């Protein structure tokens, strides 16, 4: 059972003060580096769908499902962060998962572009395992990201003491998503922040249940959740020779890959600035891409088979 959340911490006066402190008294989207008029924040019309309650509620019929409006956008970052889904990014430690995410989230929070594709603007709530100094060093590797006021971070040393379980973390995230009007929740890394029991990483039921507990957050239809995870070391992965891009590369139980709708595996083949990616799941499946960092900007290597895979 989750530790009782102190509702008193969210009384109207505290909320008002918090919103003023973090600059949310003005509901218009505060852009970072883009034209203010062009990047006005959109309060999507159908964030939470409400239907006439029927006697079988909370069940719905497929007819009711059909009547629900389509999402106005499908991706926050095309090919990388789909709307309304859980994305898992898995790679070996120190491969660059966090830096990749920072490049993507910079584009999203500014309403800019990533790999030449437009990213609808939204805010981000980032739960980090990095201390302030560690986070600062990584943020500074992404030009223009430091100072972004649409990117909210919970540092481990500032985590409230009443957050003791994964359920507490989810409840806290739910409240902070609403308070900051963020649409993307990042958990970096899942293994560090999910507070798994001993041996839980290798237990399918534990992993599946832990990931599924995030589903309650999707009452906001425009939410996207991103979980980062570690791959096995190549020397430990007998099923993947010379690469960490197979779906069996994720460390621990196979339920990790079963728990996400969009799976991205990342590999650094030669310790250079080149990164290889493979995509699996309900959005892109069996697609491979190669990117490299060029003066602080991710670019695609022309011989990637991504374009051919989509034709």
* pLDDT higher at 153 or 205: 153
The pTM of the full predicted model, rounded to 2 decimals, is 0.79
Quote the pLDDT of residue 308: 40
SS3 label, residue 12: helix
Quote the pLDDT of residue 36: 46
pLDDT range class, residue 247, cuts 50, 70, 90:
low
Quote the pLDDT of residue 260: 87
Cβ neighbours of residue 265 closer than 8 Å, sequence gap 6 or more: 90, 91, 231, 244, 245, 246, 247, 249, 250, 277, 278, 279, 280
Percentage, residues of the chain above pLDDT 70: 73
From CA 276, how far away is CA 304, in angstroms rounded? Answer: 9
Quote the pLDDT of residue 20: 65
* pLDDT higher at 54 or 299: 299
User: What angle, rounded to 10 degrees, do the helices at 166-180 and 12-21 form?
Assistant: 70
Tens digits of residue pLDDT in 60-111: 899 988 998 989 999 999 999 999 999 999 888 888 899 999 999 999 999 9
Best-predicted range by mean pLDDT among 1-15, 85-99, 118-132? 118-132
pLDDT exceeds 50 at position 270: yes
* Average pLDDT in the chain: 82
Quote the pLDDT of residue 8: 53
pLDDT range class, residue 168, cuts 50, 70, 90:
very high
From CA 70, how far away is CA 72, in angstroms rounded? Answer: 6
What residue ranges do the domains of the chain occupy?
Answer: 53-310
Quote the pLDDT of residue 40: 46
Structure tokens at 70: 């389509």
Give the phi and the psi of residue 252 in degrees, each rounded to 5.
Answer: 90, -155
Sheet holding 224-230, edge to edge: 151-154, 123-128, 182-188, 224-230, 86-91, 262-267, 274-281, 287-294, 297-300
Least confident span in 115-119, 146-150, 240-244, 253-257 = 240-244
pLDDT exceeds 60 at position 32: no
Quote the pLDDT of residue 200: 80
Superfamily of domain 53-310: P-loop containing nucleotide triphosphate hydrolases (3.40.50.300)
pLDDT exceeds 70 at position 30: no
Least confident span in 143-147, 181-185, 245-249 = 245-249
């Amino acid at each position: 059972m989750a530790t009782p959340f102190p509702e008193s911490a969210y009384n109207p006066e505290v909320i008002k003060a918090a919103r003023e402190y973090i600059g949310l008294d003005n509901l218009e989207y505060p852009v970072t580096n883009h034209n203010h008029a062009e990047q006005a924040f959109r309060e999507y019309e159908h964030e939470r769908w409400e239907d006439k309650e029927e006697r079988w509620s909370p069940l719905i019929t497929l007819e009711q499902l059909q009547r629900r409006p389509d999402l106005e956008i499908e991706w926050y970052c095309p090919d990388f962060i789909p709307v309304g889904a859980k994305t898992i990014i898995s790679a070996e430690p120190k491969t660059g998962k966090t830096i990749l995410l920072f490049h993507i989230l910079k584009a999203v929070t500014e309403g800019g572009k990533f790999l030449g594709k437009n990213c609808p603007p939204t805010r981000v709530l980032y739960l980090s395992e990095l201390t302030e100094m560690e986070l600062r060093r990584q943020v500074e590797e992404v030009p223009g990201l430091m100072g972004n006021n649409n990117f909210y971070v919970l540092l481990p040393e500032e985590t409230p003491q009443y957050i003791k379980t994964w359920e507490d973390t989810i409840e806290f995230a739910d409240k902070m998503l609403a308070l900051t009007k963020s649409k993307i929740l990042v958990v970096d890394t899942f293994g560090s922040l999910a507070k798994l029991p001993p041996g839980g990483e290798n237990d399918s039921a534990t992993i599946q249940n832990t990931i599924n507990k995030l589903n309650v957050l999707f009452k906001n239809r425009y939410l996207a959740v991103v979980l980062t995870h570690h791959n096995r070391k190549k020397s430990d992965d007998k099923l993947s020779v010379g690469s960490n891009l197979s779906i069996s590369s994720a460390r621990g139980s196979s339920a990790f890959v079963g728990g996400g709708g969009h799976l991205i595996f990342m590999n650094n083949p030669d310790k250079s600035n080149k990164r290889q990616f493979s995509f699996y799941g309900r959005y892109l499946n069996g697609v491979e891409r190669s990117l490299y960092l060029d003066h602080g900007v991710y670019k695609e290597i022309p011989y990637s088979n991504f374009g051919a895979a989509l034709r």
